[in-house]
Structure 1
């Protein structure tokens, strides 16, 4: 972790014992504020908080980011977590002081487990499931690249493995809590 980053224990305390919605960026999921309001803590990823605000749903308690930087992202949520081990050396002192950091050893374990570079969503599932402490994790907008992302309009798994990430998600989150995932063809 870069010097000066926030201690993850504060994020753990904020999530402890709560019903948590982790909102992915799959366009197959059409979110409504009512759907997420039943959860006590809403976590979005990358441009997800800004897409939500464009749709009128402003609720974002935590934002997980891997490539997007700047004031806009630091102000998008009370808690902001830099997920990828990449580009940490490019962050400013102000950015480092304002964020939590997903631990590099956890990233290395996850990489070894799934056999590919984990996506922000996969890292988010890992981060949250390790810190639930009596809470529950629900996934929305995760279809593992079966539909385009909300902010690119493209299906592009990139360096990630959709099948391995889906298996990992199902190992950490009950299928009944992966909302909107069509399991009939799986």
Structure 2
């Protein structure tokens, strides 16, 4: 990824965000018992992986930016998700999408596809001491490449399962380090963590 690619990603993010606050929506099942939907939809809505909302009152309805690992993992997870998620498999089609993983990029056939910068991924991996989740990568990208106010919804750092998975996958991530990273951004006044 070149400096021009990073500049284009910054430009595209600013264009989509359009001066709004960002609602970064995680996939914690604990979000389903909330009533944050209208508050989420009030911002530029960023969703991750297969996080198609199934309870609009809790999760909102909209999506502006979709951050996903790889195309193959996204399609695999959508195929294994609950029927309510699979029913809306075209939900992300009109969102600005960002490929967050360093792998399989050479398989991408879309010349307009945006990618999370490898330098940012390397920095965040070093900071956390483990491969970051897509949620942490999205948070890192948004706080490093934009000036927008970021509100986090549905991030409980694996205190609950991912709402769309029938079987939990904790991955190779350090959830305590990811929680501390997010809390450090809260302490710095950079983000708001809604719980």
The two structures have a TM-score, normalised by structure 1, of 0.79
Q: 1:65 is matched with which residue?
A: 68
Within the alignment, does 1:36 sit opposite 2:35 as a pair? no
Aligned counterparts of 1:73 and 1:120: Cα–Cα separation in 2: 19
Specify the SS of the correspondent of 1:64: strand
Map of 1:40-59 to 2, 5 A cutoff? 41-48=44-51, 50=52, 52=53, 54-56=54-56, 57-59=60-62
- State the Cα distance separating 1:89 from its structure 2 match: 2.0
Structure 2 gaps, min length 5: 77-88
Corresponding residue for 1:184?
none
Instruction: Check whether the contact 1:138–1:173 (CA below 8 A) recurs between aligned residues.
Output: no
For 1:109 and 1:164, how far apart are their aligned partners in 2? 14
Aligned mates of 2:179, 2:167 — CA distance in 1: 19
- Are 1:15 and 2:17 counterparts? yes
Q: 1:179 to 1:21 in 2, by over 3 A?
A: same
CA distance in 2 between counterparts of 1:23 and 1:151 reads 13
Matches within 5 A, 1:92-131: 93-94=109-110, 97-131=111-145
1:151 positional shift:
1.1
Q: Quick one: distance in 2 between partners of 1:73 and 1:90?
A: 22
Q: TM-score, normalised by structure 2?
A: 0.76
State the SS of the aligned residue for 2:181.
Answer: helix
Q: How many residues align?
A: 169
Residue 97 of structure 2 aligns with which residue?
80
5+ residue gaps, structure 1, are 181-186
Q: Secondary structure at the match of 1:128?
A: helix
Q: Does 1 or 2 have the higher relative contact order (CA < 8 Å, sep 6+)? A: 1
Alpha-carbon distance change, 27 to 72 in structure 1, aligned in 2, over 3 angstroms: same
Contact 1:146 1:155 in 2 (8 A): no
Using the TM superposition, give the Cα deviation of residue 80 of structure 1 relative to its aligned residue in structure 2, in angstroms: 0.4
